[in-house]
A = this chain, B = another copy of it.
Amino acid sequence: MVKRTSMDKAPCPIARSLDAIGDWWSLLIVREAFGNVRRFNEFQKRLGLAKNILAARLRDLVAEGILEMQPASDGSAYQEYVLTKKGRRLVTVMIALWQWGEENLFEPGEVPTRLLDKETRQPLRKLQLQTADGHPVRPSDIMIGAPAPVPELRARK
C-alpha cells in the first residue's frame, strides 16, 4: 500500500496488519462503515477527503477483503460498501485505538465522542489483556514466542 519495503510477507502479525490497514484513512473509513455509512458520497462528506483518495482507499479495502460491494439497498443503481466479516473483526482494533485515544489524548476539558453499548447506552468496559485461563496480564508479562520480529527475508535485492 505504501510502497516501502512491503512487509506483507513478514511473520509478524503487526507488520502485516499495518500493511493492510496501517495508512491513515483506512481505519477512519472502517469506522464510518461501522456506523453504517455505505455510500461513496456519504463517506466523502463525513470524512472530508478528496474523492480520488477515497476511491483509492475503498478500492484497496475491497481488495483486502475488508469491505465488499453490494447492490444498493434503496434501489438506486449504485453499489454500496459494506464490511465483510473480516472487516467487522477489526472492531477490536478500533476500540483499542478509541480507548487509548480517549484516555491519553484528551485534555481534561475536552469531550471525546463516546462509544456506547447500544442497549444500555453505557461506555464499554476497557479492553483487558488476559491469559488463556482468564487472568489479567500486564504489559511486562508478555513475551514474543518466535525467532525474529522483523526478519531479513525482505533483506536486500
Which A residues are within 8 Å of any B CB, using their own CB? 2, 4-5, 8, 11-18, 20, 22-24, 27-28, 31-32, 34-35, 46-48, 86, 88-106, 110-134, 137, 139-150, 152, 154-155
Contact = CB atoms under 8 A, between A and B. Distances in A.
B18 A139 contact: no
A96 B101 contact: no
Contact of A12 (B112, B134, B149, B152): B112
Contacts of A125: 129-134
A67 B138 CA distance: 18
Contacts of A24: 2, 4, 18, 22-23
Given A14-B31, A47-B150, A114-B146, 14 more contacts: A8-B105, A13-B102, A14-B27, A14-B28, A16-B105, A18-B27, A48-B150, A91-B129, A93-B93, A117-B131, A118-B143, A120-B131, A120-B133, A124-B129
A150 B46 contact: yes
A7 to B, nearest CB: 9
Contact of A96 (B88, B96, B120, B147): B96
A129 B16 CA distance: 23
A116 B143 CA distance: 5
B114 A149 contact: no
Contacts of A155: 48
B118 A124 contact: no
Given A14-B28, A27-B14, A28-B150, A124 B131 contact: yes
